[in-house]
Structure 1
Amino acid sequence: MAGATLDPRLLAPGAGPSPAELVAADLGGGPALLRIEGSAPSWAELAGAFDLWTTDPAEADRWAKGFDRAPRAAMCGALLVRAASVSGDPWPGLVAESTTYSLLQAGPEFREWLEHRPRAARADARPRVRVERDDRCWEVVLTRPDRHNALDARMRDELYVALDEARSRPDVTVALRGDGPSFCSGGDLDEFGTAPGPVDAHAVRLGRSLALLVSEMRDRIVVGIHGACLGAGIELPAFARRVVAADDARVGLPELDLGLVPGAGGTVSIPRRAGSPALLDLLLSGGTVDARAALAHGLVDEVVPGARLRARVLELARR
């Protein structure tokens, strides 16, 4: 298969190459870019070489439908996950993710989504982040509750400043949470596609990388999540040493609906925390999982009643 054109596709029993042909092709670095489903014994023998594997037809159907929403983006997501290191310096993976994200912003799937978006709402000037400091623990709170703490440029910048200041204080731990009905519903869709160009957006993402900052501070950050935790709302917490979920939390990666891959560090943080299959499952499924399912997948470390979330996060951060 050397020199073959990269063709976004799914491989399943009865479609595409046979197991013997896949073995002969040496899939480890070849261009069969997203390989998921199988049930027959001959396919089961290949399970270790597959990005995702299931014997459940309903699960395979969900993945296939997700793939069909944005085949190019799904292909890129699988490639990023394969290339990412599950330990060590996260920076190369973050650069690769941002580069891929920018390429997809110039691609047909994102352009089609953008063409059908309504005109962006006028931005408000209210603060996006509140910091409550004591000697040992800073409580950093997202304060855009009416928009489910959608992450816009203002929130990104204010959160970066707050966390960067905490980083300069080695004796300080951080308890990160959100006001209102949700921790963070992901990036603010009203700002998608408003950068001067993909290269400029790439430079901003890397120059003010919340993902890198949280990763560097991971042993000093505890995150409490609740309500909608989509896109950045799970990608950033996944870098932290401890993530506590309220029992109403719903976790998801909706990026394929936009023709994109995760862009807030998720292709690095989620595989490191929960494994590569968890990332691809969330991405392809397109829906959300509840707090208990997130706990079972390793996306969060514990689940508490919503009324206890703040107290539990502060308790852990102060240890």
Structure 2
Amino acid sequence: MTGPDHLDADRFSAPGGHPLWLVDAAAWRRPTPPIQAVVIGIDRAGSLPDTCTDDFDLLLTSAAGAPRPWVSLGARDLDAGVERLGAAVSANPLAATIAAEVLRLTEKLTMADALAVESLAYSSLLGGGEFARWHAAAKIDAGAPVPPAPVLIERIGNRITLTLNDPGDRNAMTATMRDALYEALANALDDPTRPELILRGAGKCFSTGGALPEFGTARDLAEAHAVRTLHSCARALDALGDRATVLLHGACIGSGIEVAAAAHRRIATSDAWFQLPELSMGLIPGAGGTATVTRAIGRHRTLWMLLSGKRVGAAQAHNWGLVHAVEGGA
């Protein structure tokens, strides 16, 4: 297909009605005019062609065990997988195209700048129609009361252990828990003894991510962006460098992996699984995932997690680099 000129490039966007562009990975080159559409390159032959990966937002192949940045779907599942991705983009085209655009930008930025870009985009989508439709249709209960100590802090010698402590609600990341975690991480950063830090979750899983009853409750989205970036647990965890280790088990969903992925050492149990479900809500990650997960597995595979919403098991997460080791069971 011949690439669009500058006037025609408007069509390849959510407002233009073509938010997705499926192309032959071996033959296609991104056109000069900027386009907002999600560009997915497809390698049906499984030959893993030598191509400019920067030209694509996602690369799919029928080859098994393909190296980064390819996502292997297998010959039998390729067409069905492409169809599912297309449906996800069609359902929330603004969130999908903004996700791709943010990933292109944040790949080249510092962690702090990448988190700021993500937060600005997240606040924009919170005010958008796609999130409003999801929120109106979702049946969300009031949720359980937040425990008085949502983050437990234990220090032995020069090691601090932080435990997300709301197992009854699967360690859902409320604003109260986020602020308590940020305060603990900031204290560790300010501590002149430079303690080691371990972050873990109590109960059956590390965290199921943002607390759903709090979604859509912010009335001032500009202020929400300011608070989100000021109290970024991902930024604080990243700043601890090799002093920080996160222990992951069970469900690690949304912010439950976005924050954790900022740790320089990530260890999972064999029952751990990871998921980025935000696109189905008309959103992108808002706790740092477009920066932290991307730095672990690359933007192409991060976008696949976002568009597909699929669970990634511990073995695949290890193979991709989302975790550094898998040790034992739960």
The TM-score bracket by the shorter chain reads 0.7 to 0.9
Which structure is higher in RCO with an 8 Å CA cutoff and minimum separation 6?
Answer: 1
Aligned to 1:202: 225
Q: Is the 8 A contact 2:164 2:201 kept in 1?
A: yes
Distance 2:320 2:79 in 1: 20
Please state how far the C-alpha of 1:140 moved relative to its aligned partner. Answer: 0.5
For structure 2, the 5+ residue unaligned runs are 62-77
AA aligned to 1:183 is F
Aligned to 1:238: 261
Q: Is the 8 A contact 1:270 1:278 kept in 2?
A: no
Residue 84 of structure 2 corresponds to residue 80 of structure 1: no
AA aligned to 1:100 is A
Residue 282 of structure 2 corresponds to residue 259 of structure 1: yes
Q: Is the 8 A contact 1:38 1:44 kept in 2?
A: no
Aligned to 1:54: 60
Residue of 22, 25, 40 corresponding to 1:12: 22
Distance 1:147 1:40 in 2: 43
Change (3 A) 1:155 1:32: closer
- For 1:264, what is the secondary structure of its paired residue? coil
Please state how far the C-alpha of 1:19 moved relative to its aligned partner. Answer: 8.9
The structure in which a higher percent of residues are helix is 1
Aligned to 2:70: none
Q: Which moved more, 1:120-129 or 1:196-205?
A: 120-129
Residue 301 of structure 2 corresponds to residue 297 of structure 1: no
Residue 304 of structure 2 corresponds to residue 281 of structure 1: yes
Task: Among all aligned residue pairs of Structure 1 and Structure 2, give the percentage whose two residues are the same amino acid.
Answer: 36
AA aligned to 1:10 is L
The two structures, once aligned, show a CA RMSD in angstroms of: 2.4
Q: Is the 8 A contact 2:255 2:286 kept in 1?
A: yes
- For 2:198, what is the secondary structure of its paired residue? strand
- For 1:53, what is the secondary structure of its paired residue? strand
Residue 34 of structure 2 corresponds to residue 30 of structure 1: yes
Q: Which moved more, 1:269-278 or 1:50-59?
A: 50-59
CA deviation map 1:145-193 (0-9, x unaligned) = 0111000011011111111111112420101000001101110011001
Change (3 A) 1:207 1:13: closer
Distance 1:303 1:83 in 2: 31
Aligned to 1:115: 136
Distance 2:50 2:265 in 1: 36
Distance 1:265 1:124 in 2: 23
For structure 1, the 5+ residue unaligned runs are 308-319
- For 2:41, what is the secondary structure of its paired residue? coil
Aligned to 2:120: 99
Residue of 140, 143, 146 corresponding to 2:165: 143
AA aligned to 1:224 is L
Please state how far the C-alpha of 1:214 moved relative to its aligned partner. Answer: 1.0
Change (3 A) 1:76 1:291: same
Aligned to 1:315: none
CA deviation map 1:32-67 (0-9, x unaligned) = 4311132468x9575632111113323323322322
Aligned residue pairs, count: 300
Distance 1:222 1:40 in 2: 39
Distance 1:232 1:46 in 2: 33
Q: Which moved more, 1:285-294 or 1:110-119?
A: 110-119
AA aligned to 1:233 is G
Distance 1:173 1:164 in 2: 13
Distance 2:250 2:198 in 1: 17
AA aligned to 1:52 is L
Distance 1:264 1:179 in 2: 20
Residue 80 of structure 2 corresponds to residue 66 of structure 1: no
Q: Is the 8 A contact 1:37 1:60 kept in 2?
A: no
Aligned to 2:6: 2
- For 1:67, what is the secondary structure of its paired residue? helix
TM-score w.r.t. length of structure 2: 0.84
Distance 1:45 1:306 in 2: 39
TM-score w.r.t. length of structure 1: 0.87
Distance 2:247 2:280 in 1: 26
